[in-house]
Amino acid sequence: MSDAPVAVVTGGNRGIGLETCRQLAALGHRVVLTARDGAKGAAAARRLGAGAEAYQLDVTSAADAEALAAHLAERYGRLDVLVNNAAINYDTWQRVTTADLDQVRVTAETNLYGPWQLVQALLPLLRASRQARIVNVSSGAGAIDDLGAGTPAYSITKLALNGLTLMLARDLRQDRILVNAVCPGWVNTDMGGGGGRPVADGAAGVVWAATLPDGGPSGGFFRDRRRIPW
């Protein structure tokens, strides 16, 4: 079994997720690139080369989460890094007073319950690591200080993800598992709507949190390696 760190990245077939996979692979991680669309995930992993493998995963599926845990246990026996990146529905067309609550519920399944479920399923493997890290890719849109009336489904689920981050960090302190939320900022991705800074710059902060040394921060909210307000 290889000593290379093993990293799982959800939503890894494009944007921040794909670039995070690329940067982690360049640092010597064995990257498990997950995607809901298996064909797109496989194509993305091929572009990254030998340091990455694709795995089809719907983060809303408990069965998929358990199957991934079984795959990792058999192949690697541990997990060193979990990057919860998969997210949906930057609902710029909605306002909080008129929001379609069915859309909010669907968004929460991916943006909140998906990461939560995956942490629970993979926790035994993270505990088997000597230096486990969990990174929840969040957004300044979910910061209480910056909440507005728009993007209600996206913002409220990222706010909840930030809360989950803090709770996990406190619960896993005794396991020496560092858990942090990272806002990549406005980057040039499909969800970002074009424009913004290079994707590599946004992913760099995610990779920093994924590779923190022992004694690094836990339970924080960061952008570009700097704490930002919740």
- Residues tagged active-site: 154
Angle CA 221–204–197, to nearest 5: 95
Q: Which two tokens mark 142?
A: 């979910």
Nearest-CA neighbor of 82 among 46, 114, 42, 118? Answer: 118
Query: Dihedral sign, CA of 178, 57, 11, 25?
Result: positive
Contacts 24+ apart (CB under 8 A), 62-70: 62/117, 62/121, 65/117, 65/118, 65/120, 65/121, 65/122, 66/121, 68/8, 68/32, 68/34, 68/118, 68/121, 68/122, 69/121, 69/122, 69/124, 69/125
Q: Which residues contact 215 (CB under 8 A, 6 or more apart)?
A: none
